[in-house]
């Protein structure tokens, strides 16, 4: 765990915004949210948790010099604090290290993507759980991902220095920038540069590790195509990658134990289970259809001298209930309530083919008494029920 950054400061301004307060510090060192595409710092001031770090509205103020990135930001806290009174500020050091690892990992992989795959990074989003990089190349297969991981791994082992410094505008041409300077900041007199040895040079206002070795580990966890001709790579770095790997190994071991197989044979075991599941589903469907036909034949052969057909059944599965209902809905003058067990209660299908009372009306009358939740049309309502009392349901249906 990295030590927190603790220092003394004081609040110079405080404003109430909604249910919280925005404050500005005389000595403000918390990194703003979203600055440089990364997450912001968290910690405490005066014993209160910092909920957000809001950047200045003026981009020029935030990026002209390294210090102004921090100085113009506002901190969001829950309760008011006194101004002009010394307070202790503490920046979460573990979080800052984690953010630096994710951000430096992105610079490293973007350099390899540009130099070895001719793919430019067109988007970068750091989240609390994972980070994504969007590139202007598709399709992208998993083999390329493996190669990219291995390149990053070798660079991490090499512990290549990562330098962060300011460069005057008239000297910036001396550096081989991975991406050109955006027009909206081209007029700035100086720029903040992040350089990874001879691999990469990029303008960036975020913070980074001091060398590639401190990134620790980079692991891609998802690859997806976006916008037709682009690819999104989702990755984890540092302890995030380690914890994810630990979680996946634990789940993998638990799964192999439950299935009484080894990791090497897990794929074969899963495929066999899927094939068995498909075969079982086919058999269940066939049996459900046959049982539903027999039940319908019994109901339709029974003549009622007065009133409608009343059918109230508790069935073993939802498949049987669905098959049975597809037949019943075709019978004239019928009221039916088909229930079936679920993991968290009961499912139900309510059917009415009466001319003067539809299924929605019966559902409305029964909803509160039987804790029904569902929806449908005048002939059929489907949903869930907390409890089932077949005799009471039959009584309600018979009472019309």
Q: What is the pLDDT of residues 122-153, one digit of tens each?
A: 999 999 999 999 999 999 999 999 999 999 99
For position 369, what pLDDT does the model report?
Answer: 85
For position 397, what pLDDT does the model report?
Answer: 87
Average of per-residue pLDDT values in the chain: 91
Q: What is the pLDDT of residues 168-207, one digit of tens each?
A: 999 999 999 999 998 988 899 999 999 999 999 999 988 8
Q: What is the pLDDT of residues 11-49, one digit of tens each?
A: 999 999 999 999 999 999 998 888 767 899 999 999 999
Helix pair 239-258, 266-301: axis angle to 10 deg:
60
pLDDT band at 303 (very low <50, low <70, confident <90, very high): low
Q: Which domains does the chain have, with CATH numbers?
A: 5-91 (2.40.30.130), 96-256 (3.30.980.10), 283-399 (3.10.310.40)
pLDDT at 324 over 70: yes
User: pTM for this structure?
Assistant: 0.74
pLDDT band at 64 (very low <50, low <70, confident <90, very high): very low
For position 304, what pLDDT does the model report?
Answer: 65
Q: What is the mean pLDDT of residues 294-300?
A: 88
For position 305, what pLDDT does the model report?
Answer: 63
């Amino acid at each position: 765990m990295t030590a927190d950054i603790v220092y003394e400061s004081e609040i110079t301004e405080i404003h109430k915004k909604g249910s919280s307060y925005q404050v500005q510090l005389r000595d403000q060192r918390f990194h703003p949210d979203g600055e440089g595409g990364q997450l912001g710092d968290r910690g405490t001031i005066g014993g209160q948790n910092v909920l957000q770090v809001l950047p200045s509205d003026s981009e020029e103020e935030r990026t002209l010099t390294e210090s102004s990135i921090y100085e113009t930001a506002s901190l969001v806290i829950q309760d008011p604090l006194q101004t002009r009174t010394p307070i202790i500020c503490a920046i979460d050091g573990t979080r800052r290290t984690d953010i630096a690892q994710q951000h430096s990992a992105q610079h490293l992989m973007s350099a390899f993507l540009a130099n070895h795959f001719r793919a430019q990074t067109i988007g970068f989003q750091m989240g609390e759980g994972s980070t994504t990089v969007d590139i202007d190349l598709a399709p992208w297969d998993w083999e390329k991902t493996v190669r990219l991981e291995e390149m990053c791994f070798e660079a991490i082992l090499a512990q290549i220095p990562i330098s962060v410094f300011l460069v005057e505008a008239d000297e910036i041409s001396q550096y081989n920038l991975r991406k050109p300077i955006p027009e909206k900041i081209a007029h700035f007199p100086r720029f903040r540069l992040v350089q990874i040895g001879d691999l990469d040079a990029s303008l960036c206002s975020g913070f980074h590790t001091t060398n590639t070795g401190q990134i620790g580990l980079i692991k891609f966890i998802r690859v997806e195509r976006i916008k037709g001709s682009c690819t999104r790579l989702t990755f984890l770095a540092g302890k995030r990658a380690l914890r994810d790997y630990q979680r996946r190994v634990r789940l993998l071991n638990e799964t192999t134990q439950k299935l009484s197989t080894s990791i090497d044979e897990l794929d074969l075991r899963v495929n066999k289970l899927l094939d068995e599941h498909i075969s079982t589903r086919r058999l269940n469907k066939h049996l459900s259809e046959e049982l539903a036909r027999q039940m319908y034949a019994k109901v339709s052969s029974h003549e009622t001298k007065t009133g409608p057909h009343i059918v109230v059944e508790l069935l073993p599965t939802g498949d049987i209930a669905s098959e049975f209902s597809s037949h019943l809905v075709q019978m004239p003058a019928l009221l039916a309530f088909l229930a079936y067990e679920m993991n968290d209660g009961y499912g139900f299908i309510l059917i009415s083919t009466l001319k003067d009372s539809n299924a929605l009306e019966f559902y409305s009358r029964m909803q509160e008494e039987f804790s029904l939740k569902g929806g449908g049309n005048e002939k059929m309502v489907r949903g869930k029920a907390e409890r089932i009392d077949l005799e009471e349901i039959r009584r309600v249906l018979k009472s019309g």
